[in-house]
Structure 1
């Protein structure tokens, strides 16, 4: 498999009131079948939506998450399996030995990308720079 693993900040950008034009241009130019999500991204989005006050915005985002987003990425939402968990353990241990911080979510995203031969697409390049996972920042393309 090759393609792109979208970080949460990329997906969130799609539903902002004023999304970054470079991000929108990039995502429109890429073949949709090459775009992947992690189950972790769905969890991070759920956490963000659940933290909003009840209202139109929250209802809109819940519908987007539960219906639109999952349908759009059907068959391209990647789970964490034992191989990915093992690779994450190696990445986390290496980061610790080097005195670097690597959150569990970012480490698992990097492990997922490495396992599936994907490039991580994110605005937060520094979160992944020491993981050996290829990274692309569409905000700077």
Structure 2
């Protein structure tokens, strides 16, 4: 992946840290990966390993944050989230 330089990089840095950047766009809509989520993540990873079905660390971060905040993951990736609470909007449209 190519790093931006010069004017493009400066403009991106300014937007990213500015009032209209991601912090403003997503304010109040990003759930934290906190201690509770970390413990859930560790359990999910250990369960997958114990079952002989290692899980993706990144996918389990998503699942752990959702579980820690009493949310559900919405995805059509049923394989990687097997055994976890998800909603597959694609399947619902075809059922």
Relative contact order (alpha carbons < 8 A, sep ≥ 6): 1 or 2 greater?
Answer: 1
- Larger Rg belongs to: 2
* Alpha-carbon spacing, 1:53–1:76, altered in 2? closer, same or farther (3 Å): same
Instruction: Determine whether 1:136 maps to 2:87.
Output: yes
Once residues 74 and 137 of structure 1 are traced to their aligned partners in structure 2, the CA distance between those partners, rounded to angstroms, is 26
Moved over 4 A (4+): 66-70
Once residues 72 and 60 of structure 2 are traced to their aligned partners in structure 1, the CA distance between those partners, rounded to angstroms, is 14
Q: Match for residue 84 of structure 1?
A: 37
List alignment gaps of at least 5 residues for structure 1.
1-50
Q: Match for residue 118 of structure 1?
A: 71
Larger helix share, 1 or 2: 1
Offset at residue 70 of structure 1 (A): 4.5
Offset at residue 139 of structure 1 (A): 2.4
Offset at residue 138 of structure 1 (A): 2.0
* Alpha-carbon spacing, 1:68–1:115, altered in 2? closer, same or farther (3 Å): same
TM-score (norm 2): 0.68
Matches within 5 A, 1:13-92: 51=1, 66=16, 67=20, 70-92=23-45
Offset at residue 124 of structure 1 (A): 1.1
* Alpha-carbon spacing, 1:97–1:135, altered in 2? closer, same or farther (3 Å): same
List alignment gaps of at least 5 residues for structure 2.
none
Larger strand share, 1 or 2: 1
